[in-house]
């Protein structure tokens, strides 16, 4: 039975899961959710995810929320050690960047895009400031590295890339960050890569 993803095409969090499954050549049943009408805030979806957010992943009786946790699940179940190693050092280094996806990138370029593209009421100046701060750190980090956490692509790269690459939709273009731009291109060149609207 294939994994089932409650999905929204323009969501970078949903896209992370679609992308990772494509890279692993793992089939994924997509169920489009009517986000605009708030389908994810009502039964039956709110009973699957009390947080009222997308994506939601179902695998048999298991229900997961949070795209970073989904990447961990899929890597551990269907990927191999290369995408999420089990040794302490590697797993911690990958986790650090999963947390950046959940925190600094969500509050920076993701929030800026939510404001500009979807009309969310939030402090756009603060979001763009946070975006610049994390992009500056990532650009310096990637000046001497090809991938965020290890010497090869991991779920850290999959988790962080989408909202970085979509930042231009929130007034945060990547031109000032050449090392970040090159890293996005490296991900786009991975075998099996799929895109999403705006990327």
What's the closest the beta carbon of residue 145 comes to its own copies, in angstroms?
13
Q: How far apart are the first and last CA of the chain?
A: 30
Query: Which C-beta is closer to its own copies: that of 52 or that of 173?
Result: 52
What's the closest the beta carbon of residue 72 comes to its own copies, in angstroms?
5
Query: Which C-beta is closer to its own copies: that of 19 or that of 70?
Result: 70
Query: Which C-beta is closer to its own copies: that of 9 or that of 102?
Result: 102
Task: Please return the burial class of 144, using the count of CB atoms within 10 Å of its CB with bins 0-12, 13-18 and 19+.
Answer: exposed
> 171-199 burial, b if ≥16 CB within 10 A, otherwise e?
ebebeebebbbebbeebeeeeeeeebeeb
Q: Which residues bind its own copies (CB under 8 A)?
A: 50-51, 62, 64-66, 68-70, 72-73, 76-77, 86-89, 91-93, 95-96, 98-100, 102-104, 106-107, 123, 137, 140-141
What's the closest the beta carbon of residue 19 comes to its own copies, in angstroms?
18
Please state, in angstroms and rounded to a whole number, the distance separating the CA atoms of residues 39 and 165.
27
């Amino acid at each position: 039975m294939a994994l089932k993803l409650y999905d929204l095409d323009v969501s970078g969090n949903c896209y992370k899961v679609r992308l990772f499954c494509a890279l692993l050549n793992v089939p994924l049943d997509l169920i489009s959710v009517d986000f605009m009408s708030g389908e994810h805030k009502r039964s039956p979806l709110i009973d699957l995810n009390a947080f009222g957010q997308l994506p939601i992943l179902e695998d048999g009786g298991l229900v997961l929320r949070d795209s970073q946790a989904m990447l961990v699940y899929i890597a551990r179940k269907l990927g191999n050690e290369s995408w999420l190693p089990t040794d302490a050092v590697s797993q911690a280094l990958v986790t650090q960047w999963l947390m950046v996806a959940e925190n600094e990138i969500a509050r920076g370029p993701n929030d800026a895009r939510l404001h500009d593209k979807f009309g969310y009421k939030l402090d756009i100046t603060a979001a763009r400031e946070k975006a610049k701060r994390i992009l500056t750190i990532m650009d310096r980090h990637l000046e001497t590295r090809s991938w965020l956490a290890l010497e090869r692509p991991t779920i850290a790269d999959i988790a962080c890339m989408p909202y970085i690459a979509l930042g231009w939709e929130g007034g945060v273009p990547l031109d000032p960050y050449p090392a970040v731009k090159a890293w996005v291109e490296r991900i786009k060149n991975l075998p099996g890569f799929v895109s999403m609207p705006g990327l």
